[in-house]
């Protein structure tokens, strides 16, 4: 096994329509991974992307004759928490679970020509289902994560602290897409700069 440590000095996070395929690896330009992928903007330097796994631990089941007869295979749910820094209507939709983008009067749906937009927070949040792409860059190397289906919703409080950048925390729960046997793909450390 070759040494392949990663110091992700920069990174980029994108969303696309659920089911959007992973770009061909390595991605030549980590800022522009391909058609359909839209950047979610800046994410926290202080609070990087964190991962969580929920579910029971495997349990050994036995019989009187064989105390270690079988091991259970509990279902695990995996999620990622991202802290968004850009206060945009797109970020609000991920955090608040849908909603309506309105124009400067706060009521009329926004048009393409509106230079000022606001966001109506929905009474009932609906997690946003998107494909998710993360490109972690370490100099001339990258590690790419792709999730064909992620259910994204707000993950905590938004705080306005005058001594720090305000963050919009969202959690993306990774799901299998169209009956797939996997919930995501992660590359090994790849050299992408010739």
- Residue-wise pLDDT for 135-167, tens only, equals 999 999 999 999 999 999 999 999 999 999 999
- Residue-wise pLDDT for 111-127, tens only, equals 988 889 999 999 999 99
Please report the pLDDT score of residue 194 as a whole number.
Answer: 57
CA dist 108 → 100, 101, 120, 123 (Å): 10, 9, 10, 18
The two tokens of residue 30 are 């980590």
Mean pLDDT on 17-38: 96
Q: Can you tell me whether residue 54 is helix, strand or coil?
A: strand
Q: How confident is the model at residue 48 (pLDDT cuts 50, 70, 90)?
A: confident
Q: How confident is the model at residue 100 (pLDDT cuts 50, 70, 90)?
A: very high
Q: What is the pTM of this model?
A: 0.87
Domain ranges of the chain: 10-191
- Residue-wise pLDDT for 71-84, tens only, equals 888 788 899 999 99
Instruction: State yes or no: pLDDT of 1 exceeds 70.
Output: no
Instruction: State yes or no: pLDDT of 105 exceeds 70.
Output: yes
d(CA 75, CA 191): 34
- Under 8 Å between Cβ of 120 and 100: yes
Mean pLDDT, the chain, whole residue set? 92
Q: Can you tell me whether residue 96 is helix, strand or coil?
A: helix
């Amino acid at each position: 096994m070759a040494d392949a440590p990663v110091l992700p000095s920069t990174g980029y996070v994108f969303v696309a329509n659920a089911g959007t395929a992973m770009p061909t690896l390595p991605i030549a330009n980590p800022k522009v991974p391909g058609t359909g992928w839209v950047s979610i903007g800046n994410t926290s330097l202080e609070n990087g992307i964190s991962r969580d796994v929920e579910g029971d631990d495997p349990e050994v089941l036995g019989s009187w004759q064989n105390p270690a007869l079988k091991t259970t295979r509990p279902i695990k749910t995996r999620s990622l928490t991202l802290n968004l820094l850009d206060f945009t209507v797109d970020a609000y939709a991920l955090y608040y679970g849908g909603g309506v983008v309105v124009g400067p009067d706060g009521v009329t749906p926004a048009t393409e020509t509106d230079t000022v937009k606001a966001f109506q927070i929905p009474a009932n949040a609906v997690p946003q289902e998107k494909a998710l792409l993360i490109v972690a860059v370490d100099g001339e190397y990258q590690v790419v994560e792709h999730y064909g289906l992620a259910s994204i919703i707000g993950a905590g409080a938004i705080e306005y602290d005058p001594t720090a950048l305000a963050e919009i925390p969202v959690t993306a729960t990774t799901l299998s897409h169209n009956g797939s046997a996997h919930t995501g793909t992660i590359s090994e450390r790849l050299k992408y700069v010739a």
